[in-house]
Structure 1
Amino acid sequence: MKITESAEPRIILHKHRKLNKLLQFGGHVELDETPWQAVLREIAEESGYDKNQLRLLQPRYNRLASLPGVKLHPQPIAIHTYPAGGGHYHTDISYAFITSENPIHDIASGESNNINLFSLRDLKKLTSKQIYDNAKTIATYTLTTVVEEWDEVDLLLYKL
């Protein structure tokens, strides 16, 4: 995957190696990290992007800027939970990052390297065999609403 200049926004998705469907980057929160630290670690492992190459999108209006005595996490696009089999659930937290650079690191060993950029037009062509409906909805919302109505903020605002 190589970023090239484009007039329209595009979203990066990767083909999950076990699920064989297109998804945003993600994974599990380790016992010694916060959810925000897990987001940044998973992006680095699965995409090769360093956090210094990324900007975060956050709501333009009525965004809580701080909380006394604690570290505030950024506002996600969506948080949703679904049954994952075996009597347990998975909860996904989706954020929107932007960049105009190519990743500076290699993708971690064992991760999918089937990564592509998708425009809104490309997303609309994807079938439920290629992408989960909820992932497609979040990606579409990101490209149609979030990139237009949310502001770029520095990741250091949420340093943990």
Structure 2
Amino acid sequence: MSKTTLIELPPSETELPYDDGVPMESARHKAQMDLLIDALIPWLSHREDGFVGGNMFVYYSLAQVRNKDFKGPDFFIVLGVPKGERKSWVVWEEGKAPDVVIELLSDSTAATDKNEKKLIYQNQMRVPEYFWYDPFNPDDWAGFSIQQRVYQPL
């Protein structure tokens, strides 16, 4: 008699939480996110691939799912993937992480966005380009590009 080995598959987009019920920090943050997304929709309409999203969870590891450590960039774009609506971005289903992430800073998120999230985007997701911007303080912005696996300022 042979033993049957069950292979546990990772959860799919439909099985994962996609909303934490927390709105954007302010109306200005929401407007900024919408502006970023809306500005790229016409550009994407001329491409055969790509996805642009904002304020939605990005899943990059099973440990993250187990720990319920949900990360939701304020804005991101991914090229080289089929067009279509998603509830969340699931890296193991899509085959890649975002190409660009932008975080909109606020008093309550700035430290996390500049440190913890920056390291996650660099080390776990390997997002090629990461930016932050404070809609209430236009002098507080920065951009980074991965060079030899480490973000370098632009």
**Common topology (TM > 0.5):** no
Given the two structures, how large is their TM-score scaled by the length of structure 2?
0.27
Indicate the structure whose relative CO is greater, using CA pairs within 8 Å and at least 6 residues apart.
Answer: 1
TM-score, L = length of structure 1: 0.27
Whose Rg is larger?
2
